[in-house]
Structures are given as C-alpha cells and as structure tokens.
Amino acid sequence: MNEWTEEWQREHRNDSYSEVVALTASARGETLQLMSELSDAQLDETLPGAPWADGTLSRVLGANADHGRMHWHWVENAGGQVS
C-alpha cells in the first residue's frame, strides 16, 4: 500500500463510519469547488510529471475518482472491515 494511505488509515482507524463519511464528503466538496472554478482550458492543462492518465488536470481528477472507487470496492468486499 501507499505509505500516505497507511498513515491515514492508522490516524482514522477508530473513527466512526459517520466520521469517515464526513471526512470524505468534505474532501469531495473541496474538489468539486475547485473544479467549478476552473475553466475548460485549465482542466485541459497538463500537470508536469503527473504519472496518471494523460497528465491533464481533468484526467488526473478522473483517475483519482476511479482510485477512490477501487478502495470503496475493497471495503465492500471485506464486509466493511478495514484493518
């Protein structure tokens, strides 16, 4: 696993489901706010060194969403149990 992910998991291990949902909802809100402020041209800009998708901001954000769905799938398949 990614070290940042493991650290986040350790930090929030004892959080309730509602607390974790609130954290992720807040992050999603910040992302949507940022996206609403960007022009189409800005979303098409390439992020230097971005290793995801084609490197454009829009595709990197999309890859991030896909990554989040992957983690959610893991949780669902584990019966909601995250170690």
How is residue 65 written in tokens?
A: 């969403």
Residue 20 lies in a domain: no
Residue 66 lies in a domain: yes
> Per residue in 16-63, pLDDT tens?
989 988 988 898 899 889 889 999 999 999 999 988 889 999 998 888
Residue 14 lies in a domain: no
Contact at 8 Å (CB) between 27 and 37?
no
Contact at 8 Å (CB) between 44 and 57?
yes
Q: What is the DSSP letter of 55?
A: S
Contact at 8 Å (CB) between 47 and 55?
yes
Residue 11 lies in a domain: no
pTM for the model stands at: 0.58
Contact at 8 Å (CB) between 74 and 83?
no
Count how many domains the chain has: 1
Residue 22 lies in a domain: no
The parent domain of residue 61 ranges over 29-83
Residue 16 lies in a domain: no
